[in-house]
Amino acid sequence: MASKTKYNIVKEKITDWITSGKVKPGEKIYSENELVKIFGVSRHTIRQAVGDLVHEGLLYREQGAGTFCSFKKDQTMEQTPSFIHTSNTNGKNIGVITTYISDYIFPSIIKGIESHLTAQGYTLTLACTDNDVEKEKQCLQTMLSRNIDGLIVEPTKSSQYNPNIHYYLELEQNNIPYLMINQFYSQLIPPHMIMNDEHGGFIATEHLIKLGHEKIIGLFKNDDLQGVNRMQGFIRAFREHRLPFFPEMVISFTTEDQNNNLLERLENFFRTNSMPTAIVCYNDQLALNVLNMVRRLGLRVPEDISIVSFDDSSLAVATDVKLTSIAHPKMEMGIEAAKWIVSAVEKKGDRPPSIVYEPNLVIRNSTAPFVKVQS
């Protein structure tokens, strides 16, 4: 039997600390430096193991504070929905449903929501869908059973038809205001707070074009509106700069593909096609996986391949290669969403307008001018 890799040893040990209750929910785990000393491994190995546990929902990050345990000892690894909790016991009840809770940009969004709601004396009931429509159904049923006064929701697989639309219509019939964040269901045309993702896709791609890149591929999620809109912006940049399109310039994927065969498909593309000089990634999380993949192939970023991503999360600066990334308002969106829902609850029938945030590109060292190799 093959011996375990250092990465697997670290991940399994931290998982054991969590599931055994040695590290309790809400409790901070060891710092990165401490984990390096405990396990005697590289910083990269620690980041990879902790990053995977964050993605799996066992841990969550708070920027500037550290990494914390989110797993309850008495819950199963497959519990659905992931969890629901109430932050205090007084005041009106606002429901918040996100696709994920414990990883990536979501803790910052939720922290923004919670900071304003609790300051206003509201109770916060939180749930997540793991981007699964059946889990979304359960979350909505739970929220309705708790007689919420308002709901903030991040839609699940928003580019597809949603079978849970009638629950949102029930909210409307009961005069319960709801706000969609990051994306929305086009069937409902609801109040929303979103990024201008189409323009984000455009300026991310245009940045590479202005650096001289023409053979650019885009990796975009196609089961949510964010990914579809970012893809549209990517294509618009090619059109406006009159660059030729080429086969397989866009590689699309679903939520399920992202964790299964996407990197395998991308690696196969690199081996069977002429090499791209730049990649636009759906988000920072994917960009880090792509970064690791191109390094395995013996390529350098940005010398051989430039990478641009979205969200400007903590992951964008988690490695020696700092990602050029489209910034997401995160905390600001959370606070504004909380203000919107409080205003809608307290002024029945008088709903504030939707908000669209314009994108901003944060340039770091994952992108560089294209240098043509002399034959």
Question: How many CB atoms are located within 10 Å of the residue 256 CB?
Answer: 12
6-69 shares its CATH topology with 85-195+329-357: no
* Residue where the block lists tokens 């919420």: 148
Domain coordinates of the chain in residue numbers? 6-69, 85-195+329-357, 197-328
- What is the rounded distance in angstroms from the CA atom of residue 41 to the CA atom of residue 237? 43
For position 85, what pLDDT does the model report?
47
Question: How many CB atoms are located within 10 Å of the residue 124 CB?
Answer: 21
**pLDDT tens string for the chain (375 positions)?**
345 688 888 988 888 888 777 887 778 888 888 899 899 998 888 888 887 777 666 777 765 677 888 654 444 434 444 444 444 444 689 999 999 876 678 888 988 998 899 888 898 888 889 889 999 999 999 898 888 999 999 999 999 889 999 999 999 999 999 999 999 999 998 999 999 999 999 999 999 999 999 999 999 999 999 999 999 999 999 999 999 988 789 999 998 887 668 888 888 888 887 789 999 999 999 999 999 999 999 999 999 999 999 999 888 998 899 999 999 999 999 999 999 999 999 986 677 899 999 999 999 999 999 987 654
Nearest to 366 by CA among 315, 296, 297: 315
What CATH number does domain 85-195+329-357 carry, 3.40.50.300, 3.40.50.2300, 3.10.20.90, 3.40.1160.10?
Answer: 3.40.50.2300
For position 91, what pLDDT does the model report?
62
Do 357 and 135 contact (CB within 8 A), yes or no? no
Strand partners, 219: 251, 281
pLDDT in tens, 252-282: 999 888 766 888 888 888 888 778 999 999 9
Nearest to 369 by CA among 316, 320, 303, 298: 303
CATH class of this structure's domain 6-69: mainly alpha
Strand partners, 93: 123
pLDDT in tens, 191-236: 999 999 999 999 999 999 999 999 999 999 999 999 999 999 999 9
Nearest to 180 by CA among 196, 158, 163, 159: 158
Architecture of the domain defined by 197-328:
3-Layer(aba) Sandwich (3.40)
pTM over 0.85: no
